[in-house]
A and B are shown apart, each in its own frame.
Chain A
Amino acid sequence: MAHLYTIPNATEGMDSILVQTITQVPALTPLLLLFVYFVVTLGGISAQKARSSTSDYAIWGVTGALATLMVALIMSVTAGLIRLDWLVLVVVLTIFNGIWFFFDRKQREI
């Protein structure tokens, strides 16, 4: 059966499978991080809205960004999983979410 990319060698452990896959498909890392961000952020927003009919977008943005940062930092331990520019981008987006969050607070909330 033909594949679009070389199938990773599965006998060397999970890390190796991920590294080999990312070597073949570099977009996997940013898409994985984007997935984490949107699952946490949109999941939190919709869950809070379902319970209280309103939602705090900024705080869920920060929560999603911090969750993404944690995943990115864990990925940074192993060589080949994440590039430096992607890690920097995740840090920058986390800080930008923080700026949005702190400017979004009401008078009584800070």
Chain B
Amino acid sequence: MGTIKLAGSLIMIGLFTMAVLGFAISFASDNNSAVSISDDAEMVSLYSKTKNNVSAFQDDAENTYKSIIDSTVEPGAGTTTSTGPFSVTPVNMVGTVKNILTVGYVKIFGTGGGFGIFLSSLVAFIVFIFGLYAYKTLRGLPD
């Protein structure tokens, strides 16, 4: 899949969620709708949480970009010596997707406890993949 693709997908999911929820909320407000998505507290909460996470990603991305630009590689060195390029807090964006999936699941199936392990495993797996990508950059072993 590729780390750029994976991180890109996570960001796009966050932006898509914000766009859909933002449009639905604004539509209800503009048209004085009888039924408004903003009457559902969990949806409004998801909207603000996703917005905060995407904003945090923006700040982290700027800092990481600066660290990449400032980093140096010794002549003849084949690999980098730090995982700086991977510190754009993908964990934060994975958390965003987890929030979206959790709220969505609760809305469809209710507050069942069984889904928690699925979400935790999924999030752990995505974080694990990011870890392997970082390791691969340094050592080139896993694929």
Residues of A within 8 A of B121 (CB): none
Indicate whether B24 reaches chain A with its CB closer than 8 angstroms: yes
Q: Mark B75-112, 1 if CB is under 8 A from A, else 0.
A: 00000000000000000000001001101100110000
Report the contact-size class of chain B (Cβ under 8 Å from the partner). 20 to 34
Count A-B contacts at CB 8 Å.
82
Q: Whole-angstrom distance between the alpha carbons of A49 and B86 in the complex?
A: 39
Indicate whether B40 reaches chain A with its CB closer than 8 angstroms: yes
Known contacts A69-B24, A73-B24: does B13 contact A99 (CB below 8 Å)?
yes
Contact of B17 among A85, A88, A93, A98 (CB under 8 A): A98
Known contacts A77-B31, A95-B104, A98-B20: does B37 contact A88 (CB below 8 Å)?
yes
Residues of A within 8 A of B43 (CB): 88, 91
Q: Whole-angstrom distance between the alpha carbons of A95 and B8 in the complex?
A: 16
For A80, A95, A110, the residue with the greatest tally of chain B CB atoms inside 10 Å of its CB is A95
CB of A96 within 8 A of CB of B104, answer yes
- B32 CB, nearest partner CB in chain A, Å: 8
In chain B, what residue has the closest Cβ to A96? B104
Q: Which residues in A have some Cβ–Cβ distance to B below 8 Å?
A: 69, 73, 76-80, 82-85, 87-89, 91-96, 98-99, 102-103, 105, 107, 110
